[in-house]
Amino acid sequence: MTAVRLTEGPDAGAIAHLGTPSQEGRTLERGEGIVDLSHRDVLTISGPDRLDWLHSLTTQYFTGLQPGVGTSALVLSPKGHIEHAFSGVDDGETFFAHTEPGMGQALVDFLDGMRFMRRVEVALRTTEYALVWQPGEPSEEVAASGFVTRRAADSLDGFETFVPRERLDEYLSAAPAVGLWAYEARRIAAGVPRFGVDTDHRTIPNEIGVLETAVHLDKGCYRGQETVARVHTLGKPPRRLVLLHLDGSVDALPEIGSEVRLGERVVGRVGSNARHHELGPIALALVKRNTAVDATLEVGEFDAETGRAQIAASQEVLVDPEVGLHVRPLR
């Protein structure tokens, strides 16, 4: 089958599908298939101080992280807004991480500027390592390969492998190829947001349901912690992440960044969107906290004459409007 590649957006150049997106989604559902994520940026952090150093800079608890234990972390601004996001795993000598396409160098530059006297080395390794995702758990063959793998709560009931690029074609040939559309549909349905796609410059961790995967609420001070702790204690973050079930009778998906409306009032923005093999067209969106959880929303191009947007959307709540110390994310 001929691979169809994306020509625009954050995943430009990646394989969208191989002719049958819905069937590819079912392949993943059966626990089969392999997804090429080699367009994502990869970086490594080595040196004896790497874990304690990452612990001091990020939202995650890195001190004492055991080899093979997958994790995710954020770098926040002083006001608590998300500036960088990455996921990774330590192999006992080096922490391997991946981040959004095109954002690796900015993350490396930030980390490199924070080394001071610490014994750490940070390097962008995208030209040397490629990321691959598979459903389920690593097979005996994968374990025997010696490649670094990551499995965590946010890895979509699967695992990621950091594959040396010279071995990528060989590795990908071991299972049926699945395109990015099916993978993204799986991620969206699971309510897992992407930095820079489902977030904007104002996003704080409390809004997007990552307090249990990318934030450790009991660790010491880090930049932006005051905002995270205050909103967690008081509850009621300014916005909340929702899963939108879009009207399937409209043969279109909204653009990333499209307005979300309740009547004529703009209440949020659309992020990731895809066609799921069972759920149909779905999307993630950030909406204002006070938007009624049972309200039918509209997304897409707004028609001033009719006062309606292009696509009707029902909500599935991912982050409770009252989320905080006594109310956990619903997922």
Which residues are paired to 44 by β-bridges?
Answer: 96, 123
Residue type present at position 284: L
Tell me the per-residue pLDDT of 106-123, one tens digit each, with 9 for 90 and over: 999 999 999 988 999 999
pTM score, whole prediction? 0.95
Most confidently modeled of 85-89, 138-142, 320-324? 85-89
Which residues are paired to 88 by β-bridges?
Answer: 71, 97
Tell me the per-residue pLDDT of 285-298, one tens digit each, with 9 for 90 and over: 999 999 999 999 99
Cα dihedral 28, 65, 200, 16 in deg (nearest 10): -20
Q: Do β-strands 158-164 and 148-150 pair in parallel, antiparallel, or remain unpaired? A: antiparallel
Q: Domains of the chain by range and CATH?
A: 4-189 (3.30.1360.120)
Please check the confidence at residue 323 and state whether its pLDDT lies above 80. no
The gap between the terminal CA atoms of the chain, to the nearest Å, is: 36
Share of the chain residues as helix, strand and coil, in percent rounded to the nearest 5: 20, 30, 50
